[in-house]
Structure 1
């Protein structure tokens, strides 16, 4: 069977019964499949001209709308090829339009990096030192040409920060989509994808290639030579550090969930394929567990959790919900699997935070709706922050009941303007957000599962240390996604307790700013490594009533 992919015009011969997604991967053609072909996200849509439709048999359990099927759309992960076809791949969201936060709370740092340069006047050369040991020499006086790079390797996004290690100034920053997210949106799907050595090699190659592209972008912006980047700090979750260093992450996906990498060490940049100085090293910050990684420990450092008096809760909301509780500096950490709903995946009209994504939603008492999109463009979908706003407002105004069900338009006490937005699609209730964009009952369930997982983690982490919600002095929300959220929405949907009202602060990208602190001061690395060794990791699965607590956290 011959398959031609459009618009690239790449082609491949495959056996009958091959899925379009399998064929595309063999041909090196990218079709976005965040659930790794599990048939759960519905994002791998491709279109067939009418004459080719009889030769691609749909299958599986994830169905498109009748309107989409009539237009020739099929899911690449489920459509089986039975004859020669041409496949049209829709243009995916531009990386340049993604809204990625690169700033975050930082702490004052005394500049004393691991790398240093010293000029030898007699020899007329500059000595490059790493931890006091000579690693290279350079002609002339290049003591001021000492640079470092911090890469925040998020599950969905990448942020690269170029830092002058003599002055401590950030010279340039750049961000992009993590290319791995096109093959698997969450950590578990990537672990599955990389169980095949070829899949792991692909994940590593694409990630390093994109980091090198960001290196080119920041060095050109700052007029810096890549060969003067002496050290790189990789800050990311445990799985991302495994994939970035081409380390098999399989052990993270099965009991007893032991990481191969524990951090607090260097690896050679050249061995990873990074386009920096030949002598450069990559520092991996210490991690806490398989699911509480270097992004969280870097955030602990940036937020100063070890020094804060009273009770502080630090939460990073994303596909995983990682959290640290600090009580007068004594810390405990936990994580929960929230799933990809907050990234817009598994949501009917969900999308990443790109142009046209609904990022803010507000209801007035009379039912009037206010919608704000990224770049003020026409609405094209709903990103994570908009999703939480929508759920929170619908719950607060009685459109969704406490169990997460849409109310019946007839007989309900909601304003007429809201009743008019309650419709049905394929016999199931939906709420019209803007134009053809709707929130379905299935979408609400996905929100409940995600927020319920995080709320259950918060409840059990507090319980493990005998802390009541009202005893918490401050709540830090970290991460790029978290920075876009509103405290109002987090409490409205019950992701956080009512007792946290007025205590929530949004810190931004502390994975990056914590990485910068580690880059600029070698002593902080030793302090963090010692601090991490004393953190108690709470395994929530060990709580016999976890399921009961989780179910209790699903309601609005």
Structure 2
């Protein structure tokens, strides 16, 4: 087999690539985190790179998705370009993008009761009179601290430490206890310090909170793009990768574990502590991310009846998962509810206390997979709505994530105005701006209830006619121009096409249908709902009016909408700081009634109705 040299700029990474492998495969092998929103299927056209040396003839898919001017300049799709000679490839600015990651989480008052305890004891020294073993004398000391001697356990690894450690420490020992198990031993009195980290592992981002396990104080927050995005933007792409790629599961698990270890190191450095001072971490994640983190094959989630391999809460040794914290450390994984309603939803419910509420509330976490819960302490129902990648920008022609350069909000004033994350020239449009744009088109009557553009000559609203210059044709269909090529950062126009509106209709239809079906299941009307709580990044950046104007959320609920930040992160923190909260999470997962939308009577007709817009 022939091998060729691939030089990746501006990182100056030089790799040997086997003939016929794609640039995507080579970049993944080199450990470069690069966005492949469609998972490398060649459907989104977002993985553009510029080949400055060795460029070949573009394949049909590239000719379809990339303008001829850019093709002539050497622009290609990394997922479609196979290596058959030495290449020099210039990676675009997406490798430098600062992603707008939601880290804010609501602070909760609670009784701190960590899973792990540190107990300082002075172990009796051995004598000729007693002949007691080190382990027996340690147990005797722990009994004095309130533990039942007959229930105390240890591991061979701990027993191996005892002889040298006891004598070097002059029998002054701190035992790290997990329930009745001696999980670790430390010399002298270290009982004053015990830290932990709570993680929200999202499909797109990972957020970690470093906490003092005694006081509950938050020491710092760290975040990163989930490196699994290199293998696909959404859950389905990653499930496909596991099923079709050799060692796909191993690669995805290694990527997320490496990211978590990097965040642990970053948090420790920022807080001026060591990783050995961190004794526990909690994990909130959707069911697929949960399985990938644990190295469990998640493919049963993708096929009917869509069941997870495990839904119960788990406690795992950090060493087993190669999590780089104290050797006595534990990983506390929150439970799942169903195949597509995971531990992150449980964490959100834990944070919002829906299980304790006297009032009926609607909780929505909108993303590529929208999780919806409705109810109160008497009954909670939940569902998963397959919203697809529209809100994340993957299947939107000018779409991108909420990163620097993304148009995030659009305003219909005397002329069209918009804001750009980070300022500067726009590079694309993120989900919140997509909602704003289409909401305006609906309210102005520029599109009809089916989402189709109306010809300028047929517009009735004079306010709509102010945007004549924005109404353009794209591939023989109507489109709405947000920024022409001359003012964008990449020299391509940013627009909303007819196909983009169709994508949004499918996404909003799924969420709206899920809300409607949960309301029917509970026998609830909109006037019965006291609050609508929007969790997650997208939910916290969208304009509530835009969401209601397009029918994503019932219009009557607009005044009841509240943004609650990264509620999954809040729930993860609660579960880490309090054993009772972790147990409550298990109770929530057990008692929530899951509604499978696809099996609901007349789902298709309800979904179809919900894809329409309400045009006044």
Give the corresponding residue for 2:276: 227
Provide the secondary structure at the position in 1 that maps to 2:390. Answer: helix
**Residue 424 of structure 1: which of 461, 464, 473 is its match?**
473
For the residues of structure 1 that align with 2:358 and 2:326, how far apart are their CA atoms?
A: 42
CA contact (8 A) 1:93 1:354 kept: no
**Residue 200 of structure 1: which of 241, 244, 249 is its match?**
249
**Residue 383 of structure 1: which of 411, 430, 446 is its match?**
430
Give the corresponding residue for 2:80: 78
For residues 483 and 288 of structure 1, do their structure 2 counterparts lie closer, same or farther at Cα, with a shift above 3 Å needed? same
Shift of 1:399: 2.3
For the residues of structure 2 that align with 1:337 and 1:452, how far apart are their CA atoms?
A: 10
CA contact (8 A) 2:548 2:555 kept: yes
Q: Deviations over 1:368-397 (max 9, x none)?
A: 222111122322211121221222122222
Give the corresponding residue for 2:37: 34
**Residue 407 of structure 1: which of 443, 454, 476 is its match?**
454
Shift of 1:19: 4.2
From the CA coordinates, give the structure whose radius of gyration is larger. 2
Q: How does 1:149-548 map to 2 (within 5 A)?
A: 149-195=197-243, 196-364=245-413, 366=414, 368-413=415-460, 414-415=462-463, 416-435=465-484, 436-548=493-605
Provide the secondary structure at the position in 1 that maps to 2:515. Answer: helix
For the residues of structure 1 that align with 2:78 and 2:467, how far apart are their CA atoms?
A: 36
Shift of 1:509: 0.6
CA contact (8 A) 1:409 1:419 kept: yes
For the residues of structure 1 that align with 2:599 and 2:249, how far apart are their CA atoms?
A: 31
Q: Deviations over 1:54-95 (max 9, x none)?
A: 3x4334895223333343322233345566554433232436
For the residues of structure 2 that align with 1:467 and 1:389, how far apart are their CA atoms?
A: 29
For residues 115 and 25 of structure 1, do their structure 2 counterparts lie closer, same or farther at Cα, with a shift above 3 Å needed? closer
Shift of 1:51: 6.4
Give the corresponding residue for 1:111: 112
Where does structure 1 lack aligned partners over 5 or more consecutive residues? none
Give the corresponding residue for 2:46: 43
For the residues of structure 2 that align with 1:190 and 1:375, how far apart are their CA atoms?
A: 30
For residues 463 and 129 of structure 1, do their structure 2 counterparts lie closer, same or farther at Cα, with a shift above 3 Å needed? same
Shift of 1:143: 1.5
Give the corresponding residue for 1:127: 175
Shift of 1:28: 5.4
Give the corresponding residue for 2:94: 92
For the residues of structure 2 that align with 1:47 and 1:229, how far apart are their CA atoms?
A: 43
For the residues of structure 2 that align with 1:386 and 1:93, how far apart are their CA atoms?
A: 23
For the residues of structure 2 that align with 1:247 and 1:172, how far apart are their CA atoms?
A: 30
Provide the secondary structure at the position in 2 that maps to 1:174. Answer: strand
Using the TM superposition, name which of 20-29 and 178-187 deviates more.
Answer: 20-29
For residues 139 and 51 of structure 1, do their structure 2 counterparts lie closer, same or farther at Cα, with a shift above 3 Å needed? closer
For residues 73 and 261 of structure 1, do their structure 2 counterparts lie closer, same or farther at Cα, with a shift above 3 Å needed? same
Q: TM-score, normalised by structure 1?
A: 0.94
Provide the secondary structure at the position in 2 that maps to 1:194. Answer: helix
Shift of 1:503: 0.9
Provide the secondary structure at the position in 2 that maps to 1:191. Answer: helix
Provide the secondary structure at the position in 2 that maps to 1:290. Answer: coil
For the residues of structure 2 that align with 1:51 and 1:143, how far apart are their CA atoms?
A: 61
For the residues of structure 2 that align with 1:335 and 1:65, how far apart are their CA atoms?
A: 37
Shift of 1:241: 0.8
Shift of 1:137: 1.8
CA contact (8 A) 2:47 2:78 kept: yes
CA contact (8 A) 1:325 1:333 kept: yes
Provide the secondary structure at the position in 2 that maps to 1:266. Answer: strand
Shift of 1:496: 0.7
For the residues of structure 1 that align with 2:173 and 2:227, how far apart are their CA atoms?
A: 41
CA contact (8 A) 1:490 1:496 kept: yes
For residues 57 and 26 of structure 1, do their structure 2 counterparts lie closer, same or farther at Cα, with a shift above 3 Å needed? farther
Provide the secondary structure at the position in 1 that maps to 2:182. Answer: strand
Q: May I ask how many residue pairs the two structures share in their alignment?
A: 551
For the residues of structure 1 that align with 2:261 and 2:428, how far apart are their CA atoms?
A: 31
CA contact (8 A) 1:57 1:81 kept: no
Shift of 1:32: 2.7
Where does structure 2 lack aligned partners over 5 or more consecutive residues? 124-170, 485-492
Shift of 1:478: 0.8
Using the TM superposition, name which of 105-114 and 425-434 deviates more.
Answer: 425-434
Shift of 1:310: 2.5
Give the corresponding residue for 1:148: 196
Moved over 6 A (4+): none
For residues 31 and 374 of structure 1, do their structure 2 counterparts lie closer, same or farther at Cα, with a shift above 3 Å needed? closer
Q: Deviations over 1:215-254 (max 9, x none)?
A: 1111111111111111110111011111111111111111
For residues 50 and 325 of structure 1, do their structure 2 counterparts lie closer, same or farther at Cα, with a shift above 3 Å needed? same
For residues 311 and 28 of structure 1, do their structure 2 counterparts lie closer, same or farther at Cα, with a shift above 3 Å needed? closer
For residues 144 and 94 of structure 1, do their structure 2 counterparts lie closer, same or farther at Cα, with a shift above 3 Å needed? farther
RMSD: 2.1
CA contact (8 A) 1:361 1:369 kept: yes
Shift of 1:495: 0.2
